Structure 1
């Protein structure tokens, strides 16, 4: 398959995935937007229903206030409630007439409400009922079930849930909801305004999929578009003031609650969370349309881009195929090399760069390995050889004075030390082997200074397996002997202690000599700092003066082995005893393979 087809196929797959993701994102956003719209619609619907109910009850309340604001009507109501039998019957008839006319005004009758005055003397007067049903001729006060609720309200308006209309003969299934008020005063009676329950079906509901539940007096169901939704859960929401003016999810439904701040009425609107088939089809069509559009546009761009990108590659292929050994200097090759097209120039530049880079890396790697090896050998070769001469002096003196077996032992120890120190095949050793070498050196020191020197070695087992530069401890001990004591007659005591320190280890060498003076300590520390900078920059060759700088030599070899993990501290003891203290070690343990890699052993063998 050609490059252009591969490019088109690859990006076509990417475009298909991208368009599918775009369609899914649009679908998800549309669903979320629909859910948000549903919540907002439920909130608006519940508030609108409450406003309409407030208006209904306010009109019914206004009818009662209208009657109570008329002095003549109040006098007539008071007269009808008197128990005094001395009241002429003509006065009672006149009071009934006034009250009947007062309840027949246009303000009362135009809203199609039935307004009723009644008292406990079984007297009732009602406004003309505009429906065809006939009003009852009489009633029994004891049959009115909601009188006690009106009395308990002490003159305030009370909402009466839907009930049978007591004032119409043979009302059948017709129900009304009412507001009632107990008139304050002796036997003043009651005012009741009835409204048809059928009028509740006229409440605003723009969305036919939204169900409405109206509760009054707490959790009394006044109206429901679907009686099956009247559950304890929704009744509890009607009683819960914290749910007011909120839309929440309950099961598979969204539920909005709005509560009137004027009357004890609560609207609960309910809608299924499932999208309608029409809404779902609209969202799916929109999502698919956007996904297809994204795919078509992306594919067109991919085809155009692949053609433009592959054109110089095709031209480059043509030039390469036409190039022969005999026409290397032809115009075709020259045009490729001189072209301003980056893609055409890329082949030649890349091939030449790879060849040069491979050669340069090989040379640099080999030079770096040789440089590190030479640097390490150079440093190790600079070890102060004075102790060999001192040992020879001891052997010579013992040979002159005494024909003793100790001479043989000294020679044996010297031979072991020579073999250990002159072996350059391996540039490092373990602490255990270094301690064994140091014990040979301690024997020679004892032979030289007799009882005037004590070298004590305390080494943890965990430290003995650590890797250390060869002759590192011997150099430090020799430095203490040569520079720490000047014609002293006191016991020269050198203590070597090895301990683990977290993931690493430390070896501390202390003596009881004169220690470092300020100038010497400053000079040694300054030289160590210079060596650290040189080794950290480029492993450049380091020239150290033979003699006097054994500590710096030891630091340089530790730095090459352990790198930034090197621990090397030079100073005087701080435990109240005069003398020098030198600490060497590493912040973590190194394996033999890591050390070999640092010194380039593997690379050298492979090369």
Structure 2
């Protein structure tokens, strides 16, 4: 834009351009310095603080798990504090299904109940003999191994297991056991105890402060003790801390942050896997806010410089810009050019006078076009009434010749109602309800001639009172059905007039079960309607279409040869009323044996001429 201004000025930049260029360079330097300050002083320390909090959080989770495991250690010691448990443990291969074995199991459960109590944060406690066979359980929860022999065979690899301590045994991904030997003060081993840890308690211990993170706990053999994501795979390659450290934070291959902390008591390592977007969320928020602030300051400063620079322009610049904004639809622009220069004031007053005169000429032209449209509509409607009266009197004469006095009387009544409808303010618009009533009178006149061979139906609704249209719109289409649709069709002949209201639109459909239109007739009628639309557009100031003009206006507004009433005439009157914001269609339908259909769709918010 600035380069274009310089080129237009013949290589010489305007005062406003020079002002903007000078301050733009200074503004860019200030904004760049502010961006560097935010990145160095705010963003980097915030990222380091976030990573440190992740490392502390992993250590906190490890401490919580240590407390839970230590609780099971204290629980086991409470059970072993009863001297009776050593006398109850079998020394041989006594079956627990004997009377003695069942009594022993009951007493052992009583000892465990006294030590554990009713409140439990574990799944179950199981006691095993020296061979690792199951003796009894506290509550019989599922998942207790029937034998500890697999554990005893590989117990040598557990660093904390020497039969004086305890070991954590993972039988399956969801079963973790706290195992210790049952031995007295002399170190004699009587059996083994396995406490099944509750996964919910592990989850609670691992869930502290891990919003948006996955927690994985591995034992010393890198086997899973707990995982918060049950769908996680078995690939643990990403959970290998660099440098063999016991705690810290690092990035994996996916860019996620992994904080880890190894417990010296259990040998477990706690990992928290946090997506990069979660870790850097606060950092990105600060960065985003900073960028928005910089952009806002830049825009504000640019706007301030722009409006300040405008004060240096000459008043003639403002006058020129206002002249360029004037167009056909915006002629009422007030040109205000405050200046002490008398020549500029006189120029402004002269131009304002020119606008006023031009506006008056345009208003006169609009009024002339309006009156011409109203006169044309009146002339078109005047073509309809004599034709309707002629056809109706002809039907009455036929009934009189046949001596049907009651029929003649009834037809004269319907004709009287129709003539009153036509003569009363013939060029004023009517409601759709009135048009439907008039169509009913016309069909009643025809009913006396065709008797039971003619059937019809009309829709009625109070909402139709709000729809306006010219007089004698429906009746010409009904007459077309009578004159042409039923020449070769079997009786009864049916005419159905339906009206539907949509969102801001109304639709009128007139259909029969007659012979239907031939393709040539549909093409000719729709072609002539398009000609009238093109000629109307040319009269309203729109580009003139080929084949439209005064030379063929008679054919454009003339009759179509269907029924002698002129479908084009009727549609043109509707177009004049709705200013061409109207859709007309004629087609053949296949419902109820087939026939012809006329469809008119227009807006409920029509703009009258």
TM above 0.5, yes or no, is no
Query: What's the TM-score bracket when you normalise by the shorter of the two chains?
Result: 0.3 to 0.5
Q: TM-score, normalised by structure 2?
A: 0.43
Please give the TM-score of this superposition, normalised by the length of structure 1: 0.43
Q: Which structure exhibits the higher relative contact order, with contacts defined as CA atoms closer than 8 Å and separated by 6 or more residues? A: 1
